[in-house]
Structure 1
Amino acid sequence: MSVHDRVGRRAFVVGSGAALLAGGVATTGAQAAVVDGPLPDFHPALKAALTFPLAWGNSPIRDFRAWRRAARAKVEEALIVDREDGTPYAPEFGRRDEHDGYRRELVTLSLTRHERVRAALLTPHGPGPFPAVLLLHDHGAKFDIGKEKLVRPWYDDTRLASAEAWAARYFSGRFVGDELARRGYVVLATDALGWGDRGPLAYDQQQALASNFYNLGSSLAGLMAREDARAAGFLAQLDRVDRRRIAAVGFSMGAFRAWQAAALSDDLAAAAAVCWMTGLREMMVPGNNTLRGQSAYYMLHPGLPRHLDFPDVASIAAPRPMLFFDGGLDPLFPADGVRVAHDKLRAVWRSRHAEERLHLKTWPDLGHVFVDRMQDEVFTWLDTVL
């Protein structure tokens, strides 16, 4: 939003109040206004009220397993989407292709009762069962590709150029899913609603889509959370997969999805989240992308911050192995927010005598990327914990 837009917006709000006053409506004090972001004038008071009383250490619940149940129940409530409805996955396996030590195939399945979703499934050659990775794509305001950001689209030449350009921009030219399959992991990648086969959505349609979910008594972010947890369950029931060795891995919005899925699903033994972890209060500063609305709605669960911060939700997965990487030059996640989040996470895992299972790292010379050296460290970590 430009300075002109902000000033105009403020003038409109104040002017509206003045009009009410002229019309005989009693008012007291200064008129409300929208500032910085836009944020309400009184946003410091709202931010100060975010004390996260259900966080581990703040909550009166002192038994960790009981706390996990209570915290997960609160997250489940905030999703505003029905819990697991028992819909069979009913997978239909499509086009297959043998490639460089692994098999590539498309599978269509029901992640909810509402819709069938097409996914890419990579399986290493050999007898199995194999460890597996639920690979979760980013947002990036790029909707023509979803799963194709992480798995080379052997099935669609029209998306290949777009996917290769994305891989070059963020992943050192690699397709992370193909790299994992070569290393012996089964890989599943789906499209979130709005991307790839389920799109493409236009950037400025996101807010309307999310609003209409709310109008329908549901939630866009909640749907994505439910689908990711269900996708983990699908991997766990495949004969080719060792259900004790499944991890979620994601970059950017995919990182948010990875730690969120680990909090919601016991089918995940570990999670690696690259470039999405912060404290909410520290992230909500003028100029931050989350204040624009739009993309934020994929990660917005109404009312949840009255109870839990982002790292508090991720901590529901403790003491399972978790990795969080952040870029020291990442403009989306201020250093203060990353530090606050890492401190919270470290305290939780330490309280479980499991700090060695938590891998926190900030790459001081990197921004919002998941480049080859970061990938290599994640791959080695996965080999160790799985």
Structure 2
Amino acid sequence: MSGHDAVGRRVFVVGAGAAALFAGGAVSGAEAAVVDGPLPDFHPALKDGLTFPLAWGHSPIHDIRAWRRAARAKVEEHLLVPRPDGTPYAAELAEGPQGDGYGRELVTLSLTPYERVRGVLLTPHGTGPFPAVLLLHDHGAKFDIGKEKLVRPWYDDTRLASAQAWADKYFSGRFVGDELARRGYVVLCLDALGWADRGPLVYDQQQALASNFYNLGSSLAGLMAREDTRAAGFLAGLDRVDARRVAAVGFSMGAYRAWQTAALSDDIAAAVSVGWMTGLKEMMVPGNNTLRGQSAYYMLHPGLARHLDFPDVASIAAPRPMFFLNGGLDRLFPADGVRVAHAKLRAVWRSCHAEERLRLQTWPDLGHVFTAPMQDEVSDWLDSAL
């Protein structure tokens, strides 16, 4: 056999089968299987290869401000969606009926050059400028409602029953956005692509949607990140809003969106993430929902894990005030992953001499929910942080 032929033969020997062959053993079907989730049979080796070399404490950059700039640039590089900063918002507002202590408007605006997005804008009665909350909805495998999960849909009776059922299931029957507006916050909540006015998707369509973005040289998760940062800029730029007091708040996928937006936007002064923080390796275990694909594509930036873990990305927001809450019985985010993430977050805020601005809280008897007592604690924290 020539050297060329040997190389040609070797490239077809992969995975556990390769290890068995080079050890002199037979290659069985089981050794070449896709296992647990499905995960490739060699997934432990892939995990071991993730050392997160740009993470604070691992990075060769030892100045925290320089590290934040470098880490943000690395995330930006992996979004695959150009910055749409030059796109005019061209907002159109349509006034709705008054709420209990606040006004309601439908808003339509351009977050990117590609399409117009509809959302809701709530404004407290009184004299502004007011503090504000960019409120980010969850995934939940429920696509008929998006913004309506968090703000009572006065404009669509057909969605009200679905929205109320969602609020009853996860939010103690409350509409979180309406509660915040009653407490004096301007609230902006928009549909992400696939939900409500921008859908609805069918659950099994998510992978196809994501792969089509990749085929087009773009990214579903990158689009969501860009849209959320643009939404933060729009909210901060409103005359009725105090631009120094804008927070991002979200539950579940919305929690991911909240800390991601804080990491990528200087318009966010504080963030609250309810039910989404973990270490990547601890999440990539048999039985975790992420392994099913589908919803994971909204939070998947290809290649970023070669550089940064989830808490590393969230830490780009340091030393701004951040509040991370999780339920101790939340099966989506096992306790070991939460502990790993919290330790990383603490280390960054400590390096910024701002430990008092980071709050990490576990509700031991709760699952994947954002209950009324949790909401009250978040509102009190926002009042002090902003």
TM-score by length of 2: 0.92
Residue range with higher mean Cα deviation, 88-97 or 178-187: 88-97
- Residue 260 of structure 2 is matched in structure 1 by 260
- Residue 319 of structure 2 is matched in structure 1 by 319
In the TM superposition, what whole-angstrom CA distance separates every residue of 1:188-231 from its partner, at most 9, and x where no partner exists? 00000000100100000000000000000000000000000000
Letter in 1 for 2:271: A
Distance 1:183 1:85 in 2: 31
- Residue 144 of structure 2 is matched in structure 1 by 144
Distance 1:78 1:342 in 2: 24
Letter in 2 for 1:241: V
- Residue 24 of structure 1 is matched in structure 2 by none
Distance 1:125 1:271 in 2: 24
**CA displacement at 1:97 relative to structure 2:** 1.8
Residue 232 of structure 2 is aligned to residue 232 of structure 1: yes
Distance 1:99 1:148 in 2: 15
- Residue 118 of structure 1 is matched in structure 2 by 118
Distance 1:261 1:99 in 2: 28
Residue 287 of structure 2 is aligned to residue 287 of structure 1: yes
Letter in 2 for 1:59: S
Q: Give the 5 Å matches for 1:298-377.
A: 298-377=298-377
**CA displacement at 1:100 relative to structure 2:** 1.1
- Residue 62 of structure 1 is matched in structure 2 by 62
Letter in 2 for 1:101: G
- Residue 272 of structure 1 is matched in structure 2 by 272
Residue 41 of structure 2 is aligned to residue 45 of structure 1: no
- Residue 194 of structure 1 is matched in structure 2 by 194
**CA displacement at 1:98 relative to structure 2:** 1.3
- Residue 102 of structure 1 is matched in structure 2 by 102
**CA displacement at 1:32 relative to structure 2:** 2.8
- In structure 1, runs of 5+ residues without a counterpart are 1-16, 19-26
Distance 2:201 2:84 in 1: 26
**CA displacement at 1:29 relative to structure 2:** 5.2
User: Which consecutive segments of 4 or more residues in structure 1 shift more than 6 A?
Assistant: none
Residue 378 of structure 2 is aligned to residue 378 of structure 1: yes
- Residue 178 of structure 1 is matched in structure 2 by 178
TM-score by length of 1: 0.92
In the TM superposition, what whole-angstrom CA distance separates every residue of 1:91-112 from its partner, at most 9, and x where no partner exists? 0011322121100010100000
**Contact in 2 for aligned 1:81/1:223 (Cα 8 Å):** yes
Letter in 2 for 1:360: L
- In structure 2, runs of 5+ residues without a counterpart are 1-15, 18-24
Percent identity (aligned): 82
Distance 2:165 2:136 in 1: 18
Distance 1:73 1:373 in 2: 37
Residue 99 of structure 1 aligns to a residue whose secondary structure is coil
Distance 2:85 2:134 in 1: 21
Residue range with higher mean Cα deviation, 80-89 or 104-113: 80-89
Letter in 2 for 1:224: M
**Contact in 2 for aligned 1:85/1:113 (Cα 8 Å):** no
Letter in 2 for 1:146: G
Aligned length: 363
What is the root-mean-square deviation in Å for CA atoms of aligned residues?
Answer: 1.5
